[in-house]
Homo-oligomer: A and B are copies of this chain.
Amino acid sequence: MGIPERKLRDKEEMRSLILTTAMKLFVEEGFGNISIRRIADKIEYSPATIYLYFKDKDEILYALHTEGFEELYKRQLGVQSIDDPRERLKKHGEIYIRFALDHPEYYNLMFIERGPAKKFAENDQWTVGRRSYEFFQQDVQRAIDAGVLPRGSANIATFSLWSLAHGIVALILRNRCTMLDQEKLRETALSAYHYIVQENEFVFAPKR
């Protein structure tokens, strides 16, 4: 009696076929060009078939968004090579900003777009994101304990620094930085983060 098992495997295979196809479309052509109908085309099934495996489009987006958090978390682990609390905090920001600028489409999905967020309530209330967040928060707490950051709620401090990093890349990704040198956006982004989390006042000052 291996038939129900095989059927389940088939179902799972189809789900992941849809997902990897969505992923490919997503990476190659960006968020805007992803559509149920195009995914269906690529896998040579009817659009209606996709709805047998996913409730709606947002459910697919949510899966992609989870994929993105895997990559981000992997990168975050890079901070472990650093001991100094302040340097570690800086590294966190750099990793975050680089991730966003390296994978703008993923970042968009993970932190800007409305779609996947709708699933937070239904699903696990942002479990994937939570892991990244708490990892960061730990190091923020450490920085506070070390006197590198002002005392106060670690929650607020974490949210504050995260907002800083998010704000930087979100404004860049959405083209709100026409007043900045477009050639040096990457450097500027990092400098903006360093301006807040810095060794002392001269480190990032322009050479004169």
Seen from chain A, the residues whose Cβ lies within 8 Å of a Cβ on chain B are 111-114, 117-118, 120, 125-126, 129-130, 133, 147-153, 155-157, 159-160, 162-168, 170-171, 174-180, 188, 191-193, 195-196, 198-207
Query: Lowest 6 CB-CB distances: which A-B pairs, in order?
Result: A167-B167, A163-B167, A150-B201, A150-B202, A166-B167, A117-B175
Q: Pick the contact of A159 from B113, B153, B157, B180 — CB < 8 Å?
A: B180
Q: Pick the contact of A111 from B152, B174, B192 — CB < 8 Å?
A: B174
Which of A156, A188, A207: most chain B CB closer than 10 A?
A: A156
Chain B residues near A118 (CB, 8 Å)? 175
Question: A152-B195, A205-B152, A206-B152 are contacts. A171–B175 as well, Cβ < 8 Å?
Answer: no
- Are A204 and B156 within 8 A (Cβ)? yes
Chain B residues near A171 (CB, 8 Å)? 111, 159, 162-163, 166
CB distance from A205 to the nearest CB of B (A): 4
CB distance from A105 to the nearest CB of B (A): 13
Chain B residues near A148 (CB, 8 Å)? 202
